[in-house]
Amino acid sequence: MVGKILKTMRRKNNLSQEQIGKLIGYARNTVSQYETETLQPDFATIEKIANECGYEILFYNKELDETLTTKNIDRKEI
């Protein structure tokens, strides 16, 4: 599922695998493997791709109506 999301974000920004790879510091074939889920990216890589495509990763708690992101969480809480 992550691969489909990464591919969708990239395509919505009219970026090739080569272009997004250069932006995040990875080879085109690595990006391809992430998108086909042959290789699983770590969270930091997913966040890099999302940021380059103008997206932010959100974690939403429906019960608390609370949203956490890597930008609004206090690292001391972890």
Domains of the chain: 2-77 (1.10.260.40)
pTM (2 d.p.): 0.83
Q: Residues near 52 by Cβ (< 8 Å), separated by ≥ 6?
A: 13, 15, 20, 23, 24
Cα angle vertex 57, ends 24, 47, to 5°? 20
Is residue 8 scored above 90 in pLDDT? Answer: yes
Whole-number pLDDT of residue 70: 81
Average pLDDT of the segment spanning 48-73? 92
